[in-house]
């Protein structure tokens, strides 16, 4: 039987008109490390909402769907794959000010000696950031550098091919890049943890100038087995952003989640 998890999230945000923090690992490699999947499909749905009234009226909505599964093979470790769809919308005084949709399909194969291989196909649309479409195809390897059940450190690296199509008439951009990802997790107790994630990308054609990086730090507290509260802060730097946009963005979010 498929396991279905439904999470309802009430979010208090201050994130430059955005609602959810970036999936740093999904942006630069595959989504999870490793993908949480068994021979039975696991699905999840997350819904977020924030509403402000008074001197200004602001409405934020966001949603995420995830499907994970694995292909069992007799002589090898299972091949795990994950599909994730996200979307959010922000309105200020009845005017739509932000809108973003993403899709990510990725697979992961565990290898020997804590090594793994990954492949990921991603898509993004955010016309308010000048992206009509943004595609990426990434492959690479990763390794668990340290894991004593309390502290965990993992690194991933690999090439990616990227296509960026813009809404303002700017010429399409196609380029290869080197993507890197580093994550540290401190398991505070059975249900709570602290984590720091760092992802980076350099264009092969101009690694000294065309580059971006995202740093995210967060804490997840379990109020009970089914209820959790998370706090995340993120900083993103793009040395060559789309024409007319700033190099740096910051985001923060507080979430209340329920699983059953």
Q: What is the mean pLDDT of residues 5-12?
A: 40
Q: Pick the residue with more confidence: 16 or 225? A: 225
Closest C-alpha among 237, 96, 101, 242 to residue 167: 242
Write the pLDDT tens digit of every residue in 42-67: 777 777 666 666 656 777 777 778 78
pLDDT at 7 over 50: no
pLDDT at 129 over 70: yes
What integer best gives the mean pLDDT of the chain?
79
pTM of model > 0.85: no
What is the C-alpha separation between 106 and 23, in angstroms, rounded? 13
CATH number for the 3-258 domain, one of 3.30.450.20, 1.25.40.420, 2.40.160.40, 3.40.50.720?
A: 2.40.160.40
Write the pLDDT tens digit of every residue in 68-116: 888 877 777 888 888 888 887 888 888 888 888 999 998 888 888 889 8
Residue ranges of alpha helices (H) inside the chain are 24-28
Share of the chain above pLDDT 90, in %: 30
Under 8 Å CB-to-CB from 41, ≥6 apart: which residues?
A: 2, 3, 67, 68, 69
pLDDT at 10 over 80: no
Q: Pick the residue with more confidence: 68 or 178? A: 178
pLDDT at 152 over 60: yes
pLDDT at 12 over 60: no
């Amino acid at each position: 039987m498929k396991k279905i998890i439904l999470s309802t999230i009430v979010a208090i945000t201050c994130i430059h008109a955005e609602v959810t923090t970036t999936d740093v690992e999904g942006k630069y490699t595959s989504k999870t490390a490793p993908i949480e999947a068994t021979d039975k499909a696991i699905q999840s749905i997350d819904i977020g909402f924030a509403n402000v009234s008074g001197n200004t009226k602001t409405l934020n909505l966001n949603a995420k769907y995830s499907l994970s599964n694995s292909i069992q093979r007799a002589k090898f470790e299972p091949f795990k794959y994950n599909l994730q769809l996200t979307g959010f919308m922000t309105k200020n005084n009845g005017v739509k000010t932000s809108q973003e949709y993403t899709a990510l399909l990725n697979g992961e194969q565990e290898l020997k000696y804590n090594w793994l291989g990954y492949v990921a196909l991603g898509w993004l649309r955010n016309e308010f950031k000048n992206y009509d479409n943004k595609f990426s195809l990434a492959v690479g390897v990763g390794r668990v550098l340290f894991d004593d059940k309390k502290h965990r450190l993992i690194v991933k690296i690999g090439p990616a091919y990227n296509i960026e199509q813009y809404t303002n008439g700017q010429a399409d951009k196609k380029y290869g890049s080197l993507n890197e990802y580093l994550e540290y997790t401190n398991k505070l107790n059975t249900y709570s943890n602290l984590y720091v994630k760092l992802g980076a990308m350099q264009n092969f054609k101009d690694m000294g100038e065309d580059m971006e990086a995202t740093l995210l730090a967060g804490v997840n507290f379990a109020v009970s087995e089914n209820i959790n509260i998370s706090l995340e802060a993120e900083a993103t730097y793009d040395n060559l952003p789309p024409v007319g946009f700033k190099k740096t963005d910051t985001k923060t979010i507080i979430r209340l989640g329920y699983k059953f």
